[in-house]
Amino acid sequence: MKKLSVVLAVVLVLSLFTGCQENKDTPDKGNVTNGGDVSGDTSNNENSKEAVEVTILGTIKSEIGEAFEEAVATYNQSQKQFKITIIPMDGQNPFEKMTALYASGHAPTIMVMGQEMAEFKDRLLDLSETEFTKLAFPGTQANATMDGKILGMPFTVEGFGLLYNKKVLNEAVGGTFDPAEIQTRTDLKELLDQIEALDGTKAVHLSPMDWSLGAHVTNILFSTQAKKADFMNGLKAGSINLMDNEIYHGWLDTFDLLMEYNIHEASPLSGDYDGGTIDLANGKVGLWFMGNWAYAPLHELNPESEFGIMPYPISDNPEDYGNTHISVGVPMYMVVDKERSSQQEQEGAVDFLTWLVTSSEGQDYFVNQMNFIPTFNGFETMPKDYMSKEILRYTEEGRTLEWMNMKYPADGWPAMGASMQKYLNGVIDQEALAEEFEAYWEKQ
Amino acid sequence: MLKEKSRWKKLLSFIQFCFIPLFAFLMIVIIPFISGVFNTFTDFNGIEMTKMVGVENYRKALTDKTFWSTLWLTIQYVLCSVIFTNLIAFLLALLVTSKIKGKHFLRSVFFMPNLIGGVILGFIWQFIFSKFMVYIGDATGIALFQYSWLIDTNKGFWAMVIVSVWQMSGYLMLIYIAGFIGIPKEVLEASSIDGATKIKQLVHIRIPLMIQAFTIAVFLTIKNSFMVYDLNLSLTNGGPYRSTEMITMHIYNEAFLFQAYGTGQAKAVILFVIVAAVAITQVLITKRMEVES
């Protein structure tokens, strides 16, 4: 009896081992197929007509999760060759999830990447020859081009600046508000006063989140400099004194102005993203520094009102670069793994991405359901909402500021965001803020 | 000969019963721990390693000022939460082992907060601190509640202490109750015949006899407070301006948000050494104080 139980225990343990072994095998098999050494496997799959499963990590953004899932379902029904499966993000941050999946040998085929791309560049498929790469607007691929290869598909453009509630601003100016009239800080101040004159309306909601302050508000400082690259390198080398930089002061003076008219002036760190959305949607404030990703929740809260976007002026001279510009950039790229995914999986990934931006069904999801602004030629469906149209107009007129924040180190926005929060809360002044920025950049 | 056989038999039965848990422990705890420590000496970036870098990661970790400031903040937090949690838990245990009415009901009520998971608990309290308290402040004009506690460096810290005390003290109460119940009745009877008052009984007889409960309770709170993450994340998320960022959150951010695996992992190893040292010292000290009746 005892002997029997020992044998049983050993068998159980051994089966555990083999269980692990089998799991480990799967990705290796994929690898071999990828290398093209075993061709039997590949043809087998095609003959048996079983759809190739292609994985994608996450739903691009949590806000559009449902619409994206529907798009995937529609694609899966539209053809029999490939089946897209979404790997849930489980609330982890993408970099953590991606490294964990890579380390375990189960890398997803399609991923969404931003700054992480440099770290993964040797593992990503060169997308230079794909249809969507050829259709993409010029300049949108700059941040995804590495070692002469285009590794990412620019998914959309987003813009940030001062969002406004058109109805409130029309009332404030007594007529039709024209954002082109706001070209200087003085113009902005007049507008703020006009909004405050309305009953029960404060002028601005200034959100204190570190990503908003650290990545978006600071972007204006970096991208309005005459020589952007030199400015960033100078900060790293410690050769730039921000207190001598005219744009630094102009940029902060506007920030001071917004702070003064802030709905949370008495306790500036009280605001949050949801609060900003509610305040602007319901017309409790006229302006909110944010980006067009907030359009969907704004529209949902108040479908009647229209929301626009306008520049953040940095001086009193309308001619100054940046006073009539908004920040527009590509927030993320779709990339395809070539290290762990088989040839077919890669093909499926490219096919799905192509479908999304070239077929009329895909375009409908892209523009109407997911609210993305297309960055490709030949789009038949165009965004109909006012804010997206405004962003497209700024882009066409070339009145856009580059997203320099894509070039920040990974801890750039949390570090500068924390300093900006101190400034917003009145803990430090312009000089101390300059010192904190300089100290951060010199460490890089 | 006979002895040897029985030893072999013992080992065999040990393996029979413990192999699977030991195997799991080895695979899930020991091996990842060793590989984690090993990785701190390499340039591992989360996906692959190319070369050994010696103690470079430790040098970077130890020279990072924010690492020391968050560690100091964490130590303050540990001190506050260990003292308050144990004090309150002890008093609660005293209360529910006395002769008051409804003590069984009270026991479960005090234990209840422990049944709510960390993140959900954090969100409930976030609502209390940033919405409910502000509402009270608006209605009554009490300056203390006028703005959310979570956007203030000091109040944010105390908010975390309050919530962790609220959550943990019910659990520790159980351990103290066990300690109280474990005291032999004869000793207490003898002392009361000798004329000891309730207070004297508590200080000179009951507490010394239940030091074991203190050993466990203090150890648990030290460990839990050093490792606090979920509460930190859901309550303040390190804000305002990263001034309430505790050490575990700092390490997580370093590794996963700022993509510096090496230094993040090195900091985690340093934290392990510190927590182990503190916990072992504490256990040794309180063990020495233990007496038997």
Domains and CATH numbers, chain B: 1-39 (no CATH), 55-289 (1.10.3720.10)
Average pLDDT (A99-113) is: 86
Nearest CA-CA distance, residue B46 and chain A, Å: 5
User: Helical H runs in B26-131?
Assistant: 31-39, 56-63, 65-97, 103-111, 118-127
- Decide if A33 is inside a domain: no
- Best of A1, A121, A270 to substitute, by most chain B Cβ atoms within 10 angstroms, is A270
Nearest chain A CA: its distance from B281 CA (Å): 35
Two structure tokens written together for A51 = 């759809």
d(CA A309, CA A286) in angstroms, rounded, equals 11
- For residues A343 and A365, membership in a common domain is answered with yes
Distance separating alpha carbons of residues B260 and B266, to the nearest angstrom: 10
The answer to whether A165 and A307 are in contact (CB under 8 A) is yes
Instruction: Report yes or no on A382 lying in a domain.
Output: no
Residue A314 in any domain: the answer is yes
Q: Report the DSSP beta bridge partners of residue A146.
A: A149
Same domain, A372 and A393: no
- In this complex, the residue of B46, B241, B256 whose CB is nearest that of residue A422 is B241
Across the range B244-264, mean pLDDT stands at: 86
Residue A103 forms contact with B (CB below 8 Å): yes
CB A400 within 8 A of CB A392: no
**Same structural domain, A344 and A197:** no
CA A177 distance to own-chain centroid? 29
Q: Are residues A139 and A271 part of one domain?
A: no
- Is residue B262 predicted with pLDDT exceeding 60? yes
- A149 strand-pairing partners: A146
pLDDT at res. A413: 87
> Does residue A37 have a pLDDT over 50?
no
pLDDT (0 to 100) of residue B133: 85
How high does pLDDT run on average in chain A? 83
What pLDDT is recorded for position B257?
80
**Is the predicted pLDDT of residue A439 greater than 50, yes or no?**
yes
8 Å CB contact of A269 and B239: yes
Give yes or no for A12 touching B (CB within 8 A). Answer: yes
The mean pLDDT of A172-198, rounded to a whole number, is 88
Among A354, A377, A400, identify where a domain stops. A377
Q: Which residues from chain A sit within 8 angstroms of residue B155, using beta carbons?
A: none
Query: Across residues B153-173, what is the average pLDDT?
Result: 89
Tell whether A407 and A266 lie within a shared domain.
yes
Say whether B46 and A103 touch across the interface (CB within 8 A): yes
- Lowest model confidence (mean pLDDT) among A305-314, B80-89, B232-241: B232-241
Based on the domain organization, do A209 and A80 belong to the same domain? no
Longest CA–CA separation in chain A, Å: 94
Number of Cβ atoms within 10 Å of the Cβ of A228: 15
The pLDDT value given to residue A14? 52
Yes or no: say if A221 and A424 are a contact pair by the CB < 8 Å rule.
Answer: no
| Residue A287: both structure tokens together | 């302006």
| Residue A208 contacts B where some CB pair is shorter than 8 Å | yes
Q: Give the mean pLDDT of chain B.
A: 86
Query: Per-residue pLDDT for A327 more than 60?
Result: yes
Closest CA to A232 of A418, A406, A379: A406
Q: Does A9 touch chain B (CB under 8 A)?
A: yes
- Of the candidates A136, A100, A159, the one whose C-alpha atom is nearest the C-alpha of residue A329 is A159
Q: Which residues contact A340 (CB under 8 A, 6 or more apart)?
A: A27, A30, A31, A34, A102, A105, A106, A107, A123
Backbone torsion region of residue A209, taken as left when φ is above 0, otherwise alpha when ψ lies between -120 and 50, otherwise beta: beta
The pLDDT of B216-220, averaged and rounded, is 89
CA geometry: angle at B219 spanning B213 and B220, to 5°? 90
Instruction: Return the SS3 of A110.
Output: strand
Reduced to 3 states (helix: H, G, I; strand: E, B; else coil), residue A8 is helix
Residue A12: its pLDDT value, please? Answer: 53
Compute the average pLDDT of residues A246-266. Answer: 90
Q: Is the pLDDT of residue A288 over 90?
A: yes
Tokens of A177: 């508000």
pLDDT over 50 at A356, yes or no:
yes
Residue A18 lies in a domain: no
Is A396 part of any domain?
A: yes
pLDDT tens-digit series, residues A402-434? 888 888 888 888 889 989 999 998 889 999 999
Number of domains making up chain A: 2
The secondary structure of residue A294, as a DSSP letter, is: G
**B30: amino acid identity, one letter:** I
For residue B32, say if its preceding peptide bond is cis, omega within 30 degrees of 0: no
Return the number of CB contacts < 8 Å for A and B: 73
Chain A nearest CA to B82, separation (Å): 29
Whole-Å CA distances, B11 to A101, B16, B19, B21 = 39, 8, 11, 15
- Picking from B241, B245, B254 by the largest number of A CB atoms within 10 A of its own CB, the best residue to mutate is B241
- Partners of residue B45 in chain A, C-beta under 8 Å: 99, 119
What pLDDT does A118 receive? Answer: 80
Q: Are A425 and B240 inside 8 Å of each other by CB?
A: yes
Report the residue from B23, B151, B253 with minimal CB separation from A270: B151
Structure confidence at residue B2 as a pLDDT band (50, 70, 90): low
Report the gap between the CA of A63 and the closest CA in chain B (Å).
20
- A267, B147: Cβ pair inside 8 Å? yes
CB A320 within 8 A of CB A399: no
Residue B146: half-sphere exposure toward Cβ, Cα within 13 Å: 8
Give the range of the structural domain holding residue A219, as residue numbers without chain letter.
158-329+387-442
- Residues A396 and A361 occupy one common structural domain: no
Contact B147 A270 (CB under 8 A): yes
CATH of the domain at A78: 3.40.190.10
The reported pLDDT for the residue numbered A8 is 57
What confidence score (pLDDT) does residue A6 get?
58
A372 lies in the same domain as A394: no
Q: Does the pLDDT of residue A134 top 50, yes or no?
A: yes
Q: Could you tell me which residues of chain B have a Cβ less than 8 Å from any Cβ in chain A?
A: 12, 15-16, 19-20, 23, 45-47, 130, 146-148, 151, 239-242, 253, 256-261
In the numeric block, which tokens belong to residue A72?
A: 């995937």
Q: Which two tokens stand for residue A420?
A: 């900006």
Q: What is the pLDDT of residues B31-86, one digit of tens each?
A: 999 988 988 888 887 777 788 888 888 988 888 888 899 999 999 999 999 999 99
How many Å apart are CA A281 and CA A307, to the nearest integer? 8
Choose among A5, A120, A421: nearest Cβ to B16. A5
Q: Does A61 score more than 90 pLDDT?
A: no
The shortest C-alpha distance from B155 to chain A (Å) reads: 13
Which residue of chain A is at minimal alpha-carbon distance from B22?
A13
- The count of other CB atoms within 10 Å of the CB of residue B199 is 8
- Claim to verify: residue A82 and residue A198 sit in the same structural domain: no
User: Smallest Cβ distance to B47: which of A9, A103, A269?
Assistant: A103
A422 part of contact set with chain B, CB < 8 Å? yes
Q: A214 near A416, Cβ under 8 Å? A: yes
Which of B45, B241, B256 is nearest residue A418 as measured by Cβ atoms?
Answer: B241
pLDDT digits (tens, 9 = 90+) for B92-111: 998 888 888 888 888 888 88
The pTM of the full predicted model, rounded to 2 decimals, is 0.79
Residue A24 binned pLDDT confidence (cut-offs 50, 70, 90): very low
Query: Is residue A129 located within the same domain as residue A106?
Result: yes
Q: What is the mean pLDDT of residues B201-205?
A: 83
Place of tokens 């209390």: B128
| A402 and A306 both lie in a single domain | yes
The answer for A 322-381 residues in CB contact with B (under 8 A) is: none
What are the chain B neighbours of A101 within 8 Å (beta carbons)? none
Return the closest-CA partner of residue A159 out of A393, A365, A380: A393
- Give B282's Cβ-side CA count (13 Å radius): 19
Residues A249 and A299 grouped into a single domain: yes
Question: Does A15 map to a domain?
Answer: no
In chain B, the residue whose alpha carbon lies closest to the alpha carbon of A408 is: B258
Q: How far apart are the C-alpha atoms of B220 and B212, rounded to whole Å?
A: 12
Optimal mutation site among A1, A21, A92, A95, interface B, most CBs of chain B within 10 A? A95
HSE, side-chain direction, 13 A CA sphere, residue A376: 26
| pLDDT surpasses 80 at A287 | yes
Handedness of CA A72, A75, A76, A77 (dihedral sign): positive
In a domain, A41, yes or no: no
- pLDDT at residue number A21: 41
| pLDDT tens for each residue of A375-398 | 888 888 888 888 888 888 888 888
